[in-house]
Amino acid sequence: MRRLFLALPVMLAALWLMVLPVPAVAQGFTALARVMPQDSRLTVDGRGGVQLDLRLSQGVPYRIFTLDAPRRLVLDFQEVDWTGLSAQDFLATSRVRNIRFGGYVPGWSRMVLELAEPMEVAAASMTIDTVSAAAALTVQLVPTDAEAFATAAGAPRDARLDLPPPTVLQDRPPRDPEAPLVVMLDPGHGGLDPGAETDGGVMEKELMLDFAYDLGERLVRSGAFEVLLTREGDYFVSLERRIAMAHQQGADLFLSLHADSVSEGMAHGTVVYTLSKEASDVASVKLAERHDRADLLSGSDLSNVDDEVTDVLLDLARQETHPRSTALAQSVIEALMEQGGPVNRRPLRSAGFSVLKSADIPSILIELGFMSSPRDLENLTNPAWRNKAAQAILQGLLDWREEDTARRALVRQ
């Protein structure tokens, strides 16, 4: 064993990005580091702290930092294959509430520990076995107080892992009314955030990515739309980043694609959501919270949210955009009903979804069906049904476009 990294002084640094020398040993058929679950664990140490031991098939660059509210420890790795690691087996202490791992951005993987109490990194080291090239990462967390935790918390910026900061509310040149509208399709979840999941292993993040591609193709073929995607593979994109992409790329419309799951009741059928401060019902509040929470637990840093001044401007812009979003939602629901649905008993709802907060882009969130309903799940996984649903959404967008153009022409007179 060769010790490459000794324990580091921690107080100062929220970030260590360590580039390891390429081991001279052959690494098999893939350059991807694999986790070795049997040698990886999270344990309590005698001094009230927690020790994380993570064994990988080879060394990779990594970084560690903490985030507050809720308190989390985040580890980023150049890509790691997590196959075989079970969160339940791994998590052997109540000092860590929750653990998530998976793809982050292309080429990078992330592990997030939700801490039950404030703890700081006392030491972190990775050692590489010279014979097998396997890497052992050890991280020691020790108790600290809430204030010290909050001061040290924050995501370091790194061009390889972050998009440039979002630009807000730039003036847009008037668009040629005949030109295709730019639609940002937003397949929900991704990477370490799987979204809803059935016992049979069907994952919302996969269903929605497939559906986004089908729908996108249909929209483009109609000639009336250009299509962009907030993610094109199985990786994590924060809610804030999804909105920023829509702005940066000049989207005219934002469609977030999801499939809900409920543990109680027999809910089924498509529901289309618009943004509202007051949710239309308790289930909508819970759904919006689940989505925002999944984002938080995947390591989003919300420490730089809009200050109050920009909030006022944003609210004004939202007042103009909101009726257009509602009309869009109604148009999509009508088209889905015409095509045979099924749509939910209350198909139009509203809630405080973060991903719908673009002030100047009409935005809706489509819960295509409930994965908890056997009938909906069958539909969601059936190519014929999905084709019909995509066709209906296209029709809804075409109808809306026509009405919206007419309505805006009236407003301008």
Q: Which of 102, 188, 341, 369 binds Zn ion (CB under 5 A)?
A: 188
Tell me the window of 95-103, 128-136, 251-259, 271-279 that interacts with Zn ion (CB under 5 A).
251-259
Which residue, 188 or 190, has its beta carbon nearer to Zn ion?
188
**Minimal distance in Å, beta carbon 358 to Zn ion?**
18
Tell me the window of 15-23, 180-188, 382-390, 403-411 that interacts with Zn ion (CB under 5 A).
180-188
Q: How many CA atoms lie within 13 A of 102 on its CB side?
A: 20
Q: Does 195 bind Zn ion (CB under 5 A)?
A: yes
Tell me the window of 52-60, 84-92, 106-114, 250-258 that interacts with Zn ion (CB under 5 A).
250-258
Which residues does 254 contact at the CB level (< 8 Å), separation at least 6?
Answer: 183, 184, 186, 243, 246, 355, 356, 358, 361, 362, 363, 364
Tell me the window of 191-199, 231-239, 297-305, 337-345 that interacts with Zn ion (CB under 5 A).
191-199
Which residue, 144 or 350, has its beta carbon nearer to Zn ion?
350
Contact predicate 207/380, CB 8 Å:
yes
**Minimal distance in Å, beta carbon 273 to Zn ion?**
11
Tell me the number of residues near Zn ion by CB under 5 A: 3
**Minimal distance in Å, beta carbon 371 to Zn ion?**
9
Which residue, 218 or 290, has its beta carbon nearer to Zn ion?
290
CA distances from 1 to 38, 131, 309 (A): 19, 8, 56
Q: Which of 55, 205, 258, 349 binds Zn ion (CB under 5 A)?
A: 258
**Minimal distance in Å, beta carbon 268 to Zn ion?**
16
Q: Does 231 bind Zn ion (CB under 5 A)?
A: no
**Minimal distance in Å, beta carbon 132 to Zn ion?**
40
Q: What is the dihedral of CA 339, 344, 350, 351, to 10 degrees?
A: -130
**Minimal distance in Å, beta carbon 258 to Zn ion?**
3
Q: Does 191 bind Zn ion (CB under 5 A)?
A: no
Contact predicate 53/111, CB 8 Å:
no
Which residue, 247 or 258, has its beta carbon nearer to Zn ion?
258
The encoded tokens of residue 384 equal 């014929």
Which residue, 63 or 291, has its beta carbon nearer to Zn ion?
291
Which residue, 49 or 188, has its beta carbon nearer to Zn ion?
188
In the complex, which residues of this chain contact Zn ion (CB under 5 A)? 188, 195, 258
